[in-house]
Chain A
Amino acid sequence: MPKQKNNFEKIDDTKNLKKILKNKKQKNYNKDEEIEKPKNARHTLKRLVLSIKDEYRRLLIVIISIIFYTALTIIAPLYSAKIIDILWSSINTAIQNGTTFSITWEQGGIDICILLEIYLVTTILYILQKFMMTSFSERLSLKFRKQISNKLNVLPLSYFDKHKPGEILSKATNDLDKMSETIQTGLLTLFTSIGTVIGSIIMMMYFNIMFSIIFILFMIVSMALTRVFTNKTLKSAANRQQKVENLTAQVEEAYSGRIIIKSFNQEEKSIKEMSEITNEVAKATRNADFIIYAINPAIRFINRLGQVVIAILAGKALIEGRLTVGGFQAFFIYMNQAAEPLTEASYMINSLQSALASVERIYEMLDEEEITPEPEQPEVVENAKGNVEFSHIRFGYSPDKMLMEDISFKVKQGQKVAIVGNTGAGKTTLINLLMRFYDINGGEILLDGKDTKKLTRANLRSNFGMVLQDTWLFEGTVAENIAYGKPDATRKEIIEAAKMARVDFFIRTMPKGYDTVLSDDTEGISVGQRQLLTIARVMLCNPSVLILDEATSSVDTRTEIEIGKAMQALMSNRTSFVIAHRLSTIVDADLILVMKNGTIIEQGNHRELLDKNGAYAELYNSQFA
């Protein structure tokens, strides 16, 4: 009567393995695992199902495969029990006849062959669904990622102001990976589990109702235990997360402030503080890890307890002839087939919920309001002359709070316009509006007499060259970074631009010169040097209108003047807008706009404004006291 436990233990163990793996992966995401529940699960689910329309056929195959797979999993034990019965009776007969028995085609061989075939088909189905789901889930993530990348280009800048980069980043990476992971393992397990549990319990009932009830009672205990453990896991994981966050803060602070720690001889104190926190993390991690790893043995213990009880009762029934040998084995197999998926269910529901919450977050982002559409029949400005007019501009970053009420000024072709004022006065805002990074709430901005709203953004921006306050470099060589706005630039042009920006020498001192690979967080390049690189970038583009937003704020005054000279040569007869906090760089401007709280409080050239003896004069004198 052997062979009962094998089959189910197999299931038992492979499932365990999957669960442990899953636990391991879950750990990485534990942070949001606990509290996370989708706000509107049904709606999100519906939308998700609709969005995978083109995969329906594939999913259908998977579902059919699952149905057959489950059916075979339920038939196999019944069949293998039959084989054992055949073998056992043949062996018994042989022993009674005093001969030995060996398996022949007729005696057992054919049955073993059929069992082998059942197993082979099961395996093939298993492999089929596994592999189909693998590529399905990744293709789905890819689809979402592509949608996100499209969305990124049409989101208004206000979205980026409101959301931290890490937050957006985690949607495109963590959230989608979580979804993919759940679809791959979770969904498949869930489907097969449901089938197996129902099938097995029906078969068990068929063999013996009383034992089935005992089994179900033990299952309820072990499910309750799982529940308790799940709650504990969540709590301890949350606790660990909290402690890890403390540690992260402490470590970041300590490394960033290490010069101070050392300068003030505070090393010992700092080490002590650090080790207190690392110790707390160790404690929290220990508890969290223990609980996660204790679940399996604990549940296995309950299950085995149930098995022992039923084994004794079933043994008794066997002896009393109330149960056949085959029935005994088959019952055990089904018992185990049903036990595992049941305890897994609560896990599965958790991870499905949190995956759905992830998907919901992605939908939220995809549903964000987009920038206003481009005009249907846009006007075109090529190689603008550079006449710019702001006329009665009203604007606020949020519609209920206006920053600018009524701004008007005119810039003629070739003029240098300087914008000065304190932080928060609205200097950069003016540039943002000119570039149409934000849409104005009233009035109009004209470029060469044409309303900028009637141009496409691309056409409008192609007339401007802009150097921003925050220098942005991407992962690529120095040359690629400089040629960002003009990818077909020759090396000679690139070097020329770098020379004008006074950064050629610095580039040459880098390990690979112009072919040195940079990234946004490259260390060893100062802010000033970054600014020079971005200036070179714009110089190469040779735009009609130049915009410099604190472009040289971190460059020393001597270099700044040298760049200023190069820039003047480049910009002669072109319009330029300059925001600067060092007034020395803008005293020669044709028009100076002095801003305060979103309005222009003075405008004129340097002499006129000094003679006025107003805000500008005050600012100027404060800088050159």
Chain B
Amino acid sequence: MKIIIKFIKPYKLLCFFTILFIIFDILGTLYIPTITANMINSGVGNKDINYIIQEGILMLVATIISSLGALVGSYLCSRLASNIGRDMRDALYKKSLKFSHFDFKQFGTGSMITRTLNDVNVIQQTAVSFIQMVIPVPIMCVSGIVMAFSIDKFMGFLLLGITIIIIISAVFITKKASIIFERLQRFLDKMNVVLRENITGVRVIRAFNKENHEKNRLKDSFQKYAESAIKANRLYAGLDSLAFFTINICIVAILYIGGNRVGAGAMEIGDITAVTEYAILILFYLIMAQMVLILMPRASICLKRIKEVLDTEPEIHDGNKKMAASNKDNKDVICFKNMTFRFADADEDTLYNLKFTCKRGQTTAIIGSTGSGKSTIAKLIMRFHDTTKGSILLNGQDLKSLSQKEIREHISYIPQTAWLFSGTIADNLRYGNEDATEGEMYHVLEVAQAGFVEELEDGLQTRVAQGGTNFSGGQKQRLAIARALIKKADMYIFDDSFSALDFKTDSNLRKALNKEIKDSAILIIAQRINTILNADQIIVLNDGKVVGIGKHDELMKNCTVYQEIAKSQMKGDIDNAKTEK
């Protein structure tokens, strides 16, 4: 609840006017039956045509006020809700960018997308319904009952009684509804999951002859959903019927009691109309509110999910020191000092006691099997994670003392999966350097072996689809490399960026890189021995520990893990395989 207040705060005035106009609507609506009653009381009694016309005009005025109130009210309400939705989305996105890699992973990309899009949407829609259908209820109930009391206390008590009964049954139904709807949602999700599995896994299912098994699973989930949906719909139908029933009973009761009261001279005949009208309005608003309240648990889950994101404290805090000017040309660009890293939720260290230095003008390579922690090293240098023990120095300064922005200004990073943004190729390259000229762009493209861009009809202006899907894996990778190269940095990190390239391109690219980058450090994370054969130092990782460090020839002599990796990739393998068979 706190969180919604936080988002409403900037719109206090808007809120005030929304409610004000809703009140206009309600008062106008309630005044109309009062006029009708007057018309009947006096019109029939005195048979005065002027009075009827006068009351008719009054009715017209009330109608106009009420309709205007409703119109302006719904405009303001839509405005309020959409503003809140917008602010929530902006806040979520802003927050997400503050998250470290680990923070973000706690939610996951899919879930973050759902939270930003669907959850906000649900809240926004619920807000609209809430303002339009729930907020007027207390106003309507109180003014309706007060007006009934002003006519006759019996009528007042009758209305009060009915209102209380309806509210009690509403509470009961809401409780039941939340269980039913929760279950319905669960079965709907389940149905979607099973269906999706059946569609995406069609080959596996058929290969394993599991068609019947899957058919039964599907039918089971359909059946459960149908049963649950029938229950939910029955609840709606029940609510609907209850309203219908109460209204009818109410009319008869008012007719009976009201008839007696009129007979006793306590009220006038027209007042029966008025009271009946009040009763119907109160009931109508209560039932409407009920329909909205049934959906509230869903909205509150969404709200909770948004709150979770907004309340998460990013694990990484910016340091407040600036990079000292004297350090900018430090020979040791990156230095790992007894660095140990463990994920917050893990029992084991991912990386243990790393000690190495990446020097300007040198190429450092990291190799190891899947899951050995190679990519984590790159993320640590970029400060997407924070070290657990020990430290990492950038140009001699501890990463933790610097701001993330500053760190990333000095390092250019190409992640494992190449990601391009929709727009043009030039747009993507400008990510690395906003002021890059066309000449510079073509130059880095050439270095990145992405000469194919020149052959494209639109050259640098070629459109890139979302995620870069209109380029092949290798092309994407090369464009991503070009984007990183156009950025001037002290260190270039290639996180398995060469694996999508064929051997020839790989080797050409490395040659070009060596020519291009002379004054910066290069860090290559790779799986292929070929890629790193000529590195100045190779770090061999196994289960998060450094098991070898040195040049290729040295490692071939004294590092078993390296030897094994090499063996698995070298030509000689055929003979081993044969002998073992």
* B581 near A263: Cβ-Cβ < 8 Å: no
* B85 near A260: Cβ-Cβ < 8 Å: no
* B244 near A265: Cβ-Cβ < 8 Å: no
Contact of A437 among B206, B248, B530 (CB under 8 A): B206
* A120 near B248: Cβ-Cβ < 8 Å: yes
Contact of A523 among B105, B213, B272 (CB under 8 A): B105
Give Cα distance in the complex from A472 to B264, angstroms: 80
* A259 near B284: Cβ-Cβ < 8 Å: no
19 of the cross-chain contacts (CB-CB < 8 Å) are A6-B277, A10-B280, A14-B240, A80-B251, A134-B234, A169-B192, A169-B196, A249-B422, A256-B109, A263-B413, A266-B431, A311-B39, A311-B56, A311-B59, A484-B210, A485-B208, A541-B208, A588-B574, A588-B578
A558 within 8 A of B: yes
Q: Tell whether A457 pairs with B74 under 8 Å between CB atoms, given A1-B44, A4-B273, A557-B568.
A: no
* A289 near B241: Cβ-Cβ < 8 Å: no
* B110 near A103: Cβ-Cβ < 8 Å: no
A56 within 8 A of B: no
* B132 near A271: Cβ-Cβ < 8 Å: no
A565 vs chain B, min Cβ distance (A): 7
Chain A positions within 8 Å of B413 at CB level: 259, 263
Chain A positions within 8 Å of B241 at CB level: 123, 126-127, 130
Please name 16 further chain A to chain B contacts, defined as beta carbons within 8 Å, in addition to the given A256-B467, A264-B408, A289-B81, sorted by A numbering.
A5-B36, A108-B259, A116-B249, A251-B113, A251-B117, A255-B96, A255-B113, A267-B97, A275-B93, A286-B75, A290-B74, A311-B52, A437-B203, A466-B207, A519-B193, A588-B577
Mark A570-614 against chain B: 1 for CB-CB distance below 8 A, else 0: 000000000000001001100000000000000000100000000
Contact of A265 among B223, B259, B408 (CB under 8 A): B408
Contact of A17 among B86, B273, B291 (CB under 8 A): B291
* A141 near B226: Cβ-Cβ < 8 Å: yes
A51 within 8 A of B: no
Contact of B244 among A123, A287, A318 (CB under 8 A): A123
Chain B positions within 8 Å of A180 at CB level: 229
Chain A positions within 8 Å of B369 at CB level: 556, 558-559
**Top 4 closest A-B pairs, CB basis?**
A101-B263, A297-B70, A293-B74, A315-B52
A408 within 8 A of B: no
* A10 near B39: Cβ-Cβ < 8 Å: no
Closest A residue, CB atoms, query B487: A264
B167 within 8 A of A: no
Give Cα distance in the complex from A273 to B573, angstroms: 53
Chain A 536-564 interface residues, beta-carbon cutoff 8 Å to B: 541, 554-561, 564
Give Cα distance in the complex from A313 to B288, angstroms: 34
Chain A 262-298 interface residues, beta-carbon cutoff 8 Å to B: 262-267, 270-271, 274-275, 278-279, 281-283, 285-287, 289-290, 293-294, 296-298
Q: Tell whether A112 pairs with B291 under 8 Å between CB atoms, given A305-B60, A622-B503.
A: no
* B570 near A624: Cβ-Cβ < 8 Å: yes
* B79 near A259: Cβ-Cβ < 8 Å: no
User: Which of A83-91, A220-228, A392-400 forms contacts with chain B?
Assistant: A83-91
B579 vs chain A, min Cβ distance (A): 10
* B222 near A145: Cβ-Cβ < 8 Å: yes
Contact of B243 among A14, A27, A312, A472 (CB under 8 A): A14
B509 within 8 A of A: no
B527 within 8 A of A: yes
Chain A positions within 8 Å of B113 at CB level: 248, 251-252, 255
A524 vs chain B, min Cβ distance (A): 8
Mark B257-280 against chain A: 1 for CB-CB distance below 8 A, else 0: 001101111000111110011001
Chain A positions within 8 Å of B192 at CB level: 169, 173
B124 within 8 A of A: yes
A345 within 8 A of B: no
* B256 near A112: Cβ-Cβ < 8 Å: yes
* A274 near B527: Cβ-Cβ < 8 Å: no
Give Cα distance in the complex from A456 to B419, angstroms: 45
Closest A residue, CB atoms, query B111: A523
Give Cα distance in the complex from A263 to B207, angstroms: 44
Mark B117-147 against chain A: 1 for CB-CB distance below 8 A, else 0: 1000000110011001100000000000000
Q: Tell whether A461 pairs with B580 under 8 Å between CB atoms, given A1-B40, A2-B37, A91-B262.
A: no
A383 within 8 A of B: no
B32 within 8 A of A: yes
Chain B positions within 8 Å of A5 at CB level: 33, 36, 273, 276-277
A409 within 8 A of B: no
User: Which of A148-156, A192-200, A490-498 forms contacts with chain B?
Assistant: A148-156
* A138 near B255: Cβ-Cβ < 8 Å: no
* B466 near A103: Cβ-Cβ < 8 Å: no
Q: Tell whether A102 pairs with B263 under 8 Å between CB atoms, given A2-B40, A258-B96, A301-B63.
A: yes
B553 within 8 A of A: no
Mark B433-444 against chain A: 1 for CB-CB distance below 8 A, else 0: 000000000000
Chain A 77-124 interface residues, beta-carbon cutoff 8 Å to B: 80, 83, 87-88, 90-91, 94-95, 100-103, 108, 112, 115-116, 119-120, 122-123
Chain B 549-572 interface residues, beta-carbon cutoff 8 Å to A: 564-565, 568-571
Contact of A587 among B47, B204, B265, B574 (CB under 8 A): B574
